[in-house]
Structure 1
Amino acid sequence: MTSATAGLPPLKVVIAKPGLDGHDRGAKVVARALRDSGMEVVYTGIYQSPESILRAVVQEDADVLGLSSLSGAHLEYARDLCALLKENDRQDVLFVVGGTIPPEDADTLKGYGVHEVFGPGTPTAELVEYISSNARQARLA
């Protein structure tokens, strides 16, 4: 923690599993790593709609949204969530996507407004560092 971030409340992260994707082991591993690093983590559970995910982000006043997708529908869900975040004036939320995302889809996701994409095998320390650095910069801006 730097002097610039000392005294700030912990970052709040919403981890969400969209659609019919019922495999959430990776999302739980990420949630635990973020929590262990001092972040406040809200896990929405499985089978969430874009609207229910947005509701959680707004109700929790989240700094970060992490979308975990293994179903292959990541493009549609990320596109819808980017639009909902914009419509609800929440572009300040750092939006990251992880899971079985083909590398060729990363640019499309970033074009929608996703800040970063993390594939299988990404070390949790890398996720923690990226979120810590980038969400804190947004908070201080």
Structure 2
Amino acid sequence: MSEQQGRSIRCLVAKVGLDGHDRGAHVIARAFRDAGFEVIYSGLHKAPEDIVQAAVQEDVDVLGISILSGAHNTLVPKIMSGLEEYGAKKDTLVLVGGVIPEEDKPGLKEEGVAAVFGPGTSMEETIEFVRSNAPDR
């Protein structure tokens, strides 16, 4: 079981905005759970503020944002700003998954997103990234 200082890696898999496509979020949530991570799923249609509140209240190590609506350049910065406001940005590994154009990835990383995973990324690659990069707390 993957652990950090005696506890499982805690992950919030979140759907932000009006995006109603949640199959990928369910697949990654199950893969994370099967890898030994503790997983919380936000449900659909969450506002950035809702996701920030859940991440802070649940004290997650990893926030995986699933977004297919094309609003990533608007919604993800709001989430990152909210995490910063609560002092949680530096202690949270933030990942984005979805169909994100290559030209948008550098801007997301400048906001503090650790990695952007697109269609076709293997579960093993994503799980290994989390194990290697989740903050030690």
User: What CA distance in whole angstroms lies between the structure 1 residues aligned with 2:5 and 2:113?
Assistant: 28
Conserved 8 A contact 2:28-2:123 = yes
Is 1:98 equivalent to 2:97 in the alignment? yes
Is 1:80 equivalent to 2:89 in the alignment? no
Q: Which amino acid aligns with 2:69?
A: S
Q: Which amino acid aligns with 2:6?
A: L
Give the structure 2 partner of residue 125 of structure 1. Answer: 124
CA gap 1:71/1:26 in 2 versus in 1, 3 angstroms: same
Structure-to-structure mapping, 1:1-141, within 5 angstroms: 8-91=6-89, 92-135=91-134, 138-139=135-136
Shift of 1:53: 0.3
Cα-Cα RMSD: 1.5
User: What CA distance in whole angstroms lies between the structure 1 residues aligned with 2:40 and 2:56?
Assistant: 12
Shift of 1:8: 1.6
Shift of 1:7: 5.4
Percent sequence identity over aligned pairs = 49
- Aligned positions, number: 136
Q: Which amino acid aligns with 2:136?
A: R
Shift of 1:58: 1.0
Q: Which amino acid aligns with 2:51?
A: I
TM-score, normalised on structure 2?
A: 0.95
Shift of 1:69: 0.5
Conserved 8 A contact 2:66-2:98 = yes
User: What CA distance in whole angstroms lies between the structure 2 residues aligned with 1:103 and 1:121?
Assistant: 15
Shift of 1:55: 1.0
Q: Which amino acid aligns with 1:85?
A: L
User: What CA distance in whole angstroms lies between the structure 1 residues aligned with 2:95 and 2:4?
Assistant: 24
User: What CA distance in whole angstroms lies between the structure 1 residues aligned with 2:120 and 2:73?
Assistant: 20
User: What CA distance in whole angstroms lies between the structure 2 residues aligned with 1:86 and 1:6?
Assistant: 23
Q: Which amino acid aligns with 2:95?
A: V
TM-score, normalised on structure 1?
A: 0.92
Moved runs in structure 1, 4+ residues, more than 4 A? none
Q: Which amino acid aligns with 2:24?
A: G
1:22-69 Cα offsets, whole Å, 9 max, x none, are 000000000000000000000001100011001110111100000000
